[in-house]
Amino acid sequence: MNGPIRKVTIFVSLLLAALLVNMTWISVARTESLNDDSRNRRVRDAEFSRNRGAILVGNEAIAESVPRTGRFPYVRTYPKPELWSSVTGWYSYNYARSGLEASFNQELAGTSSEQSIGRVVDLLTGRQSSGANIQTTLNADAQAAAVKALGDKRGAVVAMDYTTGEILALVSTPTYDPNRLATVDLSEAQTAWNELLNAADEPLKGRATREVYPPGSTFKLVTAAAALEDGMVPDTMVDAPDSLRLPNSTRSMGNSTNCGGDRITIEQALKTSCNTAFGNLGLDLGGDKLRKQAEAFGFNQDPTIDVAAAKSRFPTELDEAQTALTAIGQYDVAASPLQIVQVAAAIANDGVMMKPYLVSSVTNRDLTVLSSTTPQRQGQPLSASSAKLLQQMMVTVVEDGTGSPARISGLTIGGKTGTAQTAPDRPPYAWFVGYAEDPSVAVVAFVENADVARDDISGGKLAAPIFRAVVEALR
């Protein structure tokens, strides 16, 4: 073979080898990413045409696929959209998925690796594949009570069985109708998407899990836990002046309530939500101890719930003034309602934090179980002895303090109010987080905007009644 032919042969062989390598790379390594690419209309058409599994609350389907005629043989339907949109999310041809529709997409579509044998059997028998059903931990009565109590306010509620981690209610308001996005009329879906995306009240925001806010005085539970873990007791005295000058700063911290004296116990400080007492407590403990306690509760950690969730923040570097502010849940502290309910849940569960979960099982149509969830211990952010002391302090807050609107006759309730300042041009956030002993539930109620006068905004006035409504629905 002469030289020029040999060179051409080698060149062509290299091209063929490169082509084979590229085809192998695409077929083996890039299959999943190409299938997930939103521009891949073939995959989208195939997925949108499947008999998608149902999302269940008890025996009731809150999302299901209904047969139809036309280009797509099924349409995703949400029978009670305004009640469950915070949980189901949406499922749309052009606008992807959210909520449980997103986090369990493969199981619902029947394309997960655990369902591969079933897909092979369906192919051999000529049967159409269908997705698995998702069984949730949610309680319909608690969910309905939360939606009703929040009303037209922008806010969120999360209710959790603190002994197991089961989420009993998860609501973000305003709610919306995911049927508008799931429609097979793609032009109508586009109109709905533009309206929802540009709405002033931002209904597509997942306020319960995906957004973080200043927690205000609900964070005093974390500061109190750090104090108890550091050897203090509820009767430990702390200075509570009317105004606390922040170290090395021209700013001062004031009180919005009557603390009951210039020097009070930690229990009294929590009962009255005394800012200056907790500011001094934060200065005594120092930023490192506050950060360690916050991170033990889950701050600065990736959330572990079944749906998309934001990481709650506690600052990593603090001067003394910033330390005092973080002790009352201000400065750069930010938490999701899910994070705050986990704090109360761990305290109520004698210091043991359970992993929160929304889905109890994934089941094929033939009732074979693909996966199931059992309660799982996530950590112990404080000792049992400290937790019991803090429980007593939280009960005092409700029985004789700022949390009195959360009282329920015949039940032992512990809680903490919070009113978080944000910007001068917007109203404060209102919080209430607490727990009941029977039923064993922790609930957080958060109000971002209630469209009321600034002086009428407080955790006790706005959020505590929402907490009470949810707990009463679970009795």
- For residue 126, what are its two tokens? 């000529």
Using alpha carbons, select from 282, 164, 159, 302 the residue that is nearest to residue 225. Answer: 282
CB 459, CB 217: distance < 8 Å: yes
| b/e code 136-158 from CB counts within 10 Å (16+ = b) | bbbbbebbbbbbebbeebbbbbb
Question: Catalytic site residue 116?
Answer: no
CB 321, CB 249: distance < 8 Å: yes
pLDDT in single tens digits along all 475 residues of the chain: 567 777 777 777 777 877 777 777 765 666 555 555 555 566 677 777 788 999 999 999 999 999 988 888 999 999 999 999 999 999 999 999 999 999 999 999 888 777 666 665 665 565 666 789 999 999 999 999 999 999 999 999 999 999 999 999 999 999 999 999 999 999 999 999 999 999 999 999 999 999 999 999 999 999 999 999 999 999 999 999 999 999 988 899 999 889 999 999 999 999 999 999 999 999 999 999 999 999 999 999 999 899 999 999 999 999 999 999 999 999 999 999 999 999 999 999 999 999 999 999 999 877 889 999 999 999 999 999 999 999 999 999 999 999 999 999 999 999 999 988 776 667 789 999 999 998 999 999 999 986 655 555 677 889 999 999 999 999 8
CB 397, CB 406: distance < 8 Å: no
CATH number of the domain at 216-358+377-473, out of 3.40.50.9100, 2.40.50.110, 3.40.710.10, 3.40.50.720?
3.40.710.10
At a CB cut-off of 8 Å and minimum separation 6, what does 341 contact? 158, 159, 160, 433, 442, 443, 444
Q: What's the predicted TM-score (pTM) here?
A: 0.89
Which residue is it, tokens 């092979």?
120
Which residue is it, tokens 């058409």?
45
- For residue 108, what are its two tokens? 């619902």
Which residue is it, tokens 């698995």?
132
> To 10 degrees, the CA torsion angle through 466, 470, 473, 475?
-120
Domains of the chain, by residue range, sit at: 216-358+377-473
Which residue is it, tokens 């149902």?
54
At a CB cut-off of 8 Å and minimum separation 6, what does 201 contact? 154, 174
3-state secondary structure of 466: helix
Long-range contacts (CB closer than 8 Å, 24 or more residues apart) made by 403-406: 403/432, 403/434, 403/459, 403/460, 403/464, 404/460, 404/464, 405/460, 405/461, 405/464, 405/465, 405/468, 406/432, 406/434, 406/460, 406/464, 406/465, 406/467, 406/468
Per DSSP, the residues of 253-319 read EE-SS--SSSEEEHHHHHHHT-HHHHHHHHHHH-HHHHHHHHHHHTTTS---SSS--PPPB--SS--
- For residue 427, what are its two tokens? 């109203």
Phi, psi of 159 (to 5 degrees): -120, 140
| Marked catalytic residue, from 92, 98, 112, 217 | 217
Report the alpha-carbon distance of residue 322 to residue 343 in Å, rounded.
Answer: 22
Cis peptide bond prior to 234, omega within 30° of 0: no
Report the alpha-carbon distance of residue 403 to residue 415 in Å, rounded.
Answer: 6
Per DSSP, the residues of 30-64 read SHHHHHH-TT-HHHHHHHHTSBPPPEEETTEEEEE
